[in-house]
Structure 1
Amino acid sequence: MSNRGAISNFLEKYYLHFNAATLVDAAKAYEAQLEKDAKMLVSLAGAMSTAELGKIFSEMIRKEKVHIVSCTGANLEEDVMNLVAHSHYVRIPNYRDLTPTEEFELLEKGLNRVTDTCIPEEEAFRRLQKHIFKLWKDAERQGKRYFPHEYMYQLLLSGVLEEYYEIDIKDSWMYAAAKANLPMVVPGWEDSTLGNIFASYVMKGELQASTVKSGIEYMAYLADWYTWNSDKGVGFFQIGGGIAGDFPICAVPMLYQDLEEENTPFWSYFCQISDSTTSYGSYSGAVPNEKITWGKLDIDTPKFVIESDATIVAPLIFAYILKM
């Protein structure tokens, strides 16, 4: 037996073939990146915050096993929503059997369904909206501008939400990220609920669009971060597909092709957890070797694709890296 905990030992003993073996191989290679002092980017697509990944991802952040995050606007806000409105979430195990009428009834109750879990947006934003609006408005009055995640960090660190906490704060990955001032990019933030709310204030003339920094500024921020942190490599751990993964991985070809920074290294590790199959024109289902042709990965970059459910796989990999 190794000096690891029960979960890691279980994985090493029983996860020996196919997707199971790839899971262990990817975890070991992630660990090898950290051992050589490489940095690691983790991208979060889907509804991983609503799946309560924060229970273990927060520990990955505290233990400095992740150095920058790329996530959707939904994952950015839904961890905080779970923090302040957890008791109002509704689980629906028989979600596959719901009729359109039953789905509409959930809407009328203010419950937005994500697979088997309904997010109580009205309940959550009753606690959040006035506080985030104040931060936006205060920044605008002071002539300041921040990224979406920076406003969320300010919100969490201000203490104004403490009276609403409904879960243990250590299970919030966003709070862990805020405490660590973890670098983050949130591409496409505009399509999140908070992004929609911000857009409505802009359209009503109550805020200026420039008060929240843009996606182009996020790309420049990421490019600078990568340039300063890639001397020993930067790995790429992708949960799901979509913009949370596609946006940050493009920083490397942008740096050396468009900015002509010829010494820019490729990503030093790549792993994607996805249930998307290889298909015509699919980005999420593309095999890693396709990324070589786009100047993102090198010939010898360790590459892994785990074709499975990220809500099952990601916690196991994180548990292995944490030696649980």
Structure 2
Amino acid sequence: MTNGAVSQFVRHHFRHFNAAALVDAADAYRRHLDQGGQMMITLAGAMSTAELGLSLAEMIRQGKVHAISCTGANLEEDIFNLIAHDFYERVPHYRDLSPQQEQELLERHMNRVTDTCIPEEEAMRRLEKALLDEWMQADRNGECYFPHEFIYRILRAGKLEQYYQIDPRDSWVYAAMERNLPIYVPGWEDSTTGNMYAAHCITGEIRNVHTVRTGIEYMIDLADWYTRTSAQASIGFFQIGGGIAGDFPICVVPMLHQDLGREGVPVWGYFCQISDSTTSYGSYSGAVPNEKITWGKLAVDTPKFIIESDATIVAPLMFALILGW
């Protein structure tokens, strides 16, 4: 694979410490794929509002991502950006905002994520309307789908197309939909759309609360996917941030071994985490990769990397190296 201008710059300048770990991890990612492996990416934090889709969507299209685990926020916020990008507001001086200025943002229905404000009406309510139509139709028909499947159905039907304000090629969820990529969204109820769904169940508009399938069902589905896929290819684990997006899927391996007693299921074949968390406060998210050996998630010889830095900076650079940009 040729190296474009970004890759050439990174390879020339990123020689030590976290910079070198970035290059080493990206090269190992490419080797894993070149050897026939597959890769799961996990998204925590606000990576969709950081517009990671600008690089992640191309990773998906080029077959360098085979499954994604993400928070409900990352699933929905990629769509928010797709349909309301022009209504977003940046607040570069967010560190200096007074409580009164924060209140003023609330009164304007501008929901702040660090330096970026998401517009409630244009983003959240537009998606809610489309989702509610799908939820109620499924509810009437006695059907149940996962959160990401409802999003896929909306995108495939073009129900939000009139609102697109960015190129859909820059939406990672749109790219995932095109490839029918498996997405796992643990704790989806801890999201804006999850709250909306609960509200519509409370009002009685949705009669069966299980119309949207649960995290336990996601784990069952993940166990099936991992068992089938790992029988054919080694599966790597690329973790952006910490929290449930990473903790949930990585546990599928010890569950298969220890709780189901299955033998011969391989552990994860590659591991990399981008995180600014540290181990000194008992942080799961900041645990060094070797700790995962004791939990039956990684092997002694699994390629392991941790890049202690800002994922909004590191992930696009790693993707550029992997893509040869």
Taking structure 1 as the reference length, the TM-score comes to 0.98
With 135-144 and 57-66 compared, the bigger mean Cα shift is at: 135-144
Q: How far did residue 63 of structure 1 move?
A: 0.4
The 5 A counterparts of 1:191-210 are 191-207=190-206, 208-210=208-210
Between the aligned partners of 1:139 and 1:167, the Cα distance in structure 2 is 29
Note the alpha carbon deviations across 1:201-222, whole angstroms, 9 max, x for none. Answer: 1111221211011100000100
Q: How far did residue 318 of structure 1 move?
A: 0.4
Between the aligned partners of 1:136 and 1:112, the Cα distance in structure 2 is 25
1:264 counterpart SS class: coil
1:22 paired with 2:21, answer yes
* Equivalent AA in structure 1 for residue 161 of structure 2: E
Q: How far did residue 112 of structure 1 move?
A: 1.0
Note the alpha carbon deviations across 1:182-206, whole angstroms, 9 max, x for none. Answer: 0110000001000000001111122
Note the alpha carbon deviations across 1:276-318, whole angstroms, 9 max, x for none. Answer: 1222321111111111111111111111010000000000000
Between the aligned partners of 1:228 and 1:38, the Cα distance in structure 2 is 13
Between the aligned partners of 2:204 and 2:133, the Cα distance in structure 1 is 15
Note the alpha carbon deviations across 1:196-251, whole angstroms, 9 max, x for none. Answer: 00001111122121101110000010010000111321000000000000000000
1:59 paired with 2:58, answer yes
Q: How far did residue 262 of structure 1 move?
A: 1.4
Between the aligned partners of 2:98 and 2:322, the Cα distance in structure 1 is 42
Between the aligned partners of 1:147 and 1:3, the Cα distance in structure 2 is 39
* Equivalent AA in structure 2 for residue 218 of structure 1: Y
2:131 counterpart SS class: helix
Between the aligned partners of 2:293 and 2:304, the Cα distance in structure 1 is 11
Match of 2:266 in 1: 265
1:120 paired with 2:107, answer no
2:239 counterpart SS class: strand
* Equivalent AA in structure 2 for residue 59 of structure 1: E
Q: How far did residue 4 of structure 1 move?
A: 1.2
2:238 counterpart SS class: strand
Match of 1:156 in 2: 155
Match of 1:3 in 2: 2
Match of 1:31 in 2: 30
Match of 1:314 in 2: 315
2:48 counterpart SS class: coil
* Equivalent AA in structure 2 for residue 164 of structure 1: Y
With 304-313 and 134-143 compared, the bigger mean Cα shift is at: 134-143
Note the alpha carbon deviations across 1:64-113, whole angstroms, 9 max, x for none. Answer: 10000000000000000001100111101111111111111111111111
Match of 1:132 in 2: 131
Note the alpha carbon deviations across 1:114-165, whole angstroms, 9 max, x for none. Answer: 1111111222123222211111111111111100000000011111111101
Match of 1:167 in 2: 166
Match of 2:90 in 1: 91
1:288 counterpart SS class: coil
Q: 4+ residue runs of structure 1 moved beyond 3 angstroms?
A: none
Match of 2:253 in 1: 252
Match of 1:224 in 2: 224
1:147 paired with 2:123, answer no
1:190 counterpart SS class: coil
How large is the Cα RMSD of the aligned pairs? 0.9
Between the aligned partners of 2:182 and 2:130, the Cα distance in structure 1 is 23
Between the aligned partners of 2:124 and 2:274, the Cα distance in structure 1 is 31
1:69 counterpart SS class: strand
* Equivalent AA in structure 2 for residue 229 of structure 1: T
Taking structure 2 as the reference length, the TM-score comes to 0.98
1:286 paired with 2:287, answer yes
* Equivalent AA in structure 2 for residue 245 of structure 1: G
Q: Across the two proteins, how many residue pairs are aligned to each other?
A: 323
